[in-house]
Amino acid sequence: MSFASEVREGLGERPRRLPPHWFYDELGSRLFDAICLLPWYRITRVEQRLLARAARAMSQTAPGPGLVAELGPGNGEKLALFLGGLAGRGGVDGSRRVLLVDISPEALSAATARLAKAGIVEVTALRGPYEKGLARIARERPPGGSPLVLFLGSNIGNFEPARASRFLKDVRSALKAGDRFLLGADLVKPEKDLLLAYDDPLGVSAAFNLNVLARMNRELEANFDLATFTHRVVWNAPQRCIEMHLVSRRAQRVRIRGARLDLLLRKGESIFTEASYKYDPADLRAQVEAAGFATRRRFLDRPAAYALTLYEAVEEPGP
């Protein structure tokens, strides 16, 4: 669906909402990169350390994957690091086939450039939803080799639980028994740490959230006055998720010409922009295994409460 149609649909609903994938235009992608550098947002740094450990461990098990596919590669930094580690001491294996899947063209070109800088040139950048990438993986298996699918950065946390289960089953369906899946997931941790990670004192997360309104102004001829919205972050304990909202500070009317929408907002009314689910380790294991995977190795950072887990697709039970 296009930006205009998702804006029209989501902002027309009650409560009003916007799907989080629209955060990532060029400015939004850069703001997200800045979030990843913040001391309060530990996911990226911690995952990089775990990826280096995972690559070392995996490079000792033969054979290596014939294809490495990353769904949602961001700026490609983590993948370059992982592939460097996987190639071992000899450095990056530039001939390894890599597939990048993202709906953001900005992310795809940043990731492709980052990989090229690391000497990895056998890269296919596929613009589209993850499903399109999974269909490609299923269709184009490397001859004699097996694919490894990466889903990092706790991107799974941005799916509601039912959608996460469906996604895991879709990944499994694209693979054959023995293929591998590396998943990064942020775990439940103290509320104060979570609030700081999503509402940082520098205001970068607030800018990231507000940019989706600015994006509608730029691309859909909307007239949002950003100064009349507040970035609000809530820990929803029963659902185990961080919610991000944009709250209207006053009653107002906003015109979004490109989405053919006139939006009437009450004072205090919120637009729900993102849910970031945090996992309980046992629940995560059960959910991934229910999709047809076996847990092979877990790389855990206890202080940051983050898990990178290597799974292997297992035979699906017969009818």
Our CB check for ligand AVI shows the closer of 43 and 46 to be 43
Give dist(CA 179, CA 111) in Å, integer.
Answer: 24
Of 112 and 209, which has the nearer Cβ to ligand AVI?
A: 209
The single-letter code of the amino acid at 208 is F
In angstroms, what is the minimal distance from the CB of 97 to ligand AVI? Answer: 25
Q: Who contacts 68 (Cβ-Cβ below 8 Å, separation ≥6)? A: 79, 82, 83, 86, 96, 97, 98, 99, 147, 148, 150
Provide the residue type at 298 as one letter: R
| Nearer residue to ligand AVI within complex by CB, 207 or 261 | 207
Could you give the C-alpha distances from 140 to 56, 121, 145, 150, in angstroms and in order?
27, 18, 11, 17
Of 85 and 153, nearer to ligand AVI (C-beta) is 153
Q: C-beta of 251: minimal distance to ligand AVI in Å? A: 27
Residue 112 or residue 211: which is nearer to ligand AVI going by CB?
Answer: 211
Coil, strand or helix at 261? strand
Residue with smaller CB distance to ligand AVI, 42 or 180: 42
Shortest CB 314 distance to ligand AVI, Å: 27
Let me know: does 188 contact 313? Beta carbons within 8 Å: no
Q: Rounded to the nearest whole angstrom, what is the least distance from the CB of residue 232 to ligand AVI in the complex?
A: 13
CB of 49 to ligand AVI, least distance (A): 17
**Amino acid in the structure at residue 114:** R
CA-based max dimension of the chain? 62
How near is the Cβ of 244 to ligand AVI at its closest, in Å?
Answer: 6
Residue closer to ligand AVI by CB (options 57, 196) is: 196
**Is the bond leading into 15 cis (omega within 30 degrees of zero)?**
yes
Q: Which residue is nearest to ligand AVI (CB)?
A: 276
Cα(157)–Cα(274) distance, rounded to whole angstroms? 10
Which residues make up the interface to ligand AVI (CB under 6 A)? Answer: 35, 43, 153-155, 157-158, 198, 205, 208, 274, 276
Q: Residue 123's closest CA among 96, 146, 149?
A: 96
Q: Minimum distance between the CB of residue 205 and ligand AVI, rounded to whole angstroms?
A: 5
Whose structure tokens read 């995977």?
293
d(CA 118, CA 159): 31
